[in-house]
Amino acid sequence: MKSEYNIALVGELNGSIETTLEVLAQRGFPVAKVFPLVNASDIFKTSSSSPSDEDFEENENEFESNINSVRFAGKSVDVLDIETFDWQQVDIAFFLTDIETTKKWATIASEHCVVIDNSGTFLEDENVPLLQVDVNEENLARYTEKNIISIPSSESAQLSLAVKQIHQEVGLVRINVCSYHSVSVAGKIGVTTLAGETARLLNAKTVESSTFPQQTAFNVFPQVGELNAEGVSFEELRLVNEVRSLLNDPAIIVSSTQVIVPMFYGCAQAVHLQTHYPVALDEVAQSMHHTDGLTLSDSVSDYPNMIDNVVGNADVKIGRLRKDVCDAAGINLWVCADNVYFGVATNAIKVAEKLIETYI
């Protein structure tokens, strides 16, 4: 075991990288050096279209300052080009980015360091363990098979943590979940899209959506990502497969609908559980009180909301816990968490903490 570790981060500078650096510092992770990595050709992805030469010249100084450095633990850290980066100097690499980037670089990185991936790239690779601390951390030992560890999507992570204990104690037949995603599911461009559309509409101007299938401001629509021929998105399929894997129960029925709502950060879920037999609500509540990282509201009317309880918080919040009025074995609940702070940064770092505690 080392006393300090060199960490690489691949993702959005002012999104997943910034938040992960913040959480690394807050949790006191033993960092020797951090290497924020970006693809130089992708730096200017702050709008739905590539900048013109005119735009670049006009914003050159701002552009340069945005990509040259980030802040970590009160110090300035240089941002590096992933194309020329030497992976041999890294112990752990956080891939907090899209599938395309992960496919290009994660396997290369894994030849020299442990990769912790958030993209879902390795969902179907049986040699890459899917891991969430406090749910199935016994899978960590398998990381040596490819030197890569997958962590679940934010919606899979919060749902699995919420239902893990009741599944172990009673058993679940079915999970129906509707996930209400903030626009940050698309990264920083999602946030700027919602802000821009809102400003334009409030000034009586029209908007043309390109980041999302529909206008995000003052709107709700049931599509996160592209839909396949059966009308199902990758993220919906990902949740089904990840929850089954995390709970180690391929027979459990999981039904997922994912919705975009006009929030900047957070993911909220309306969840219906069907247990193998009717169970007292007190028993369900007790199981949740005994699960690390969960906070259950004291009453059904004291439920968590995204603005006051979730953003910038590492816990998963649960409220509206109640029996289903039409199903004796049915339980309904409301689950929410910060999709970036909890779902990406904290989950990845918790895996790294377990990794250095036991293996490297």
Give pLDDT tens digits for 131-162.
999 999 999 999 999 999 999 999 999 999 99
Q: Which residue is associated with the tokens 């958030």?
A: 118
Answer yes or no: are the C-beta atoms of 316 and 342 closer than 8 Å.
yes
Q: Which domains does the chain have, with CATH numbers?
A: 5-121 (3.40.50.720), 155-339 (3.30.360.10)
Buried/exposed code over 182-192 (b: 16+ C-beta within 10 A; e: otherwise): bbbbbbbbbbb
Residue 1 is predicted with a pLDDT of: 75
Residue 61 is predicted with a pLDDT of: 38
Q: What is the torsional sign of CA 77, 17, 311, 159?
A: negative
pLDDT by 10-residue block (mean), the chain, 360 residues: 94 92 96 92 44 38 57 92 96 96 96 97 95 95 96 97 95 98 94 96 91 95 96 96 97 97 97 96 91 91 90 94 95 97 96 94
Residue 290 is predicted with a pLDDT of: 85
Between CA 315 and CA 273 the distance in angstroms is 21
Alpha-carbon Rg for the chain, nearest whole angstrom, is 21
Q: Whose CA is closest to 220, among 182, 271, 267?
A: 182
Residues present in the chain in total? 360
Residue 43 is predicted with a pLDDT of: 53
